[in-house]
């Protein structure tokens, strides 16, 4: 997929919706931003530095919900959250378990969060990804179809959390086929393909 001519500055406290048909480049753009793909030309910068020169530093500032649901099947959601926090050097023996419980409760994730991820429904997998992307308190959220497989109540709960994230100065880039959800959340839109 070719993305050409895109020159955009994403502001703090703003949600940008990525819109376009399947295959138009939305997921490719999110992969470029999450450093799982690399541009053949051009650059993406964060705080004045190329994200590709020091990807580890940049990745410490973002939360990601991908279009895949390939989470580690032999961990529980609780274990995955703890692993995510420890990997980012953000684990606190006292506060982290409390913050995890609050976030799971707000996402309406029940006691099955102790079960292995391999036993989860698609909606539970989506909630686990959302929880992991929010728990580290990132600066930027990269969301590819974040509401997929969520029932209406869970979708509302996720939207409230994302609105709070945005109101606290977080930046959101979100791609979704559920245009109503984007309307509720987004302040601006980028239409793909960008040529």
Domains within the chain, CATH numbers bracketed: 15-191 (3.40.50.300)
For every residue of 124-182, DSSP letters joined together read: HHHHHHHHHHHHT--SEEEEESTTTT--HHHHHHHHHHHHHHHHTT-EEEEE-S-HHHH
Tens digit of each residue's pLDDT (9 = 90 or more) over 62-76: 999 987 777 899 999
Q: How many CA atoms lie within 13 A of 136 on its CB side?
A: 25
Cα–Cα distance measured from residue 104 to residue 10, given in angstroms and rounded to the nearest whole number: 29
Please determine, for residue 1, whether its predicted confidence score (pLDDT) is greater than 60.
no
Tens digit of each residue's pLDDT (9 = 90 or more) over 140-155: 999 998 988 899 999 9
Q: Which residue has the higher pLDDT, 141 or 191?
A: 141
Tens digit of each residue's pLDDT (9 = 90 or more) over 179-188: 666 788 999 9
């Amino acid at each position: 997929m070719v993305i050409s001519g895109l020159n955009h500055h994403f502001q703090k406290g703003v949600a940008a919706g990525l819109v376009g048909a399947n295959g138009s480049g939305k997921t490719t753009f999110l992969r470029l931003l999450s450093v799982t793909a690399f541009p053949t030309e051009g650059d993406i910068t964060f705080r004045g530095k190329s994200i590709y020169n020091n990807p580890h530093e940049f990745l410490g500032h973002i939360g990601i919900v991908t279009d895949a649901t390939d989470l580690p099947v032999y961990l529980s959601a609780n274990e995955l959250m703890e692993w995510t926090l420890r990997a980012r050097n953000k684990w606190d023996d006292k506060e982290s378990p409390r913050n995890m419980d609050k976030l799971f409760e707000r996402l309406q994730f029940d006691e099955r969060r102790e079960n292995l991820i391999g036993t989860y429904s698609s909606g539970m997998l989506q909630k686990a990804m959302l929880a992991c992307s929010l728990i580290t308190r990132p600066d930027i959220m990269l969301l590819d179809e974040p509401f997929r497989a969520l029932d209406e109540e869970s979708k509302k709960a996720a939207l409230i959390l994302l609105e709070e994230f945005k109101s606290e100065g977080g930046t959101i880039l979100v791609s979704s086929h559920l245009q109503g959800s984007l309307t509720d959340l987004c302040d601006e839109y980028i239409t793909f393909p960008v040529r």
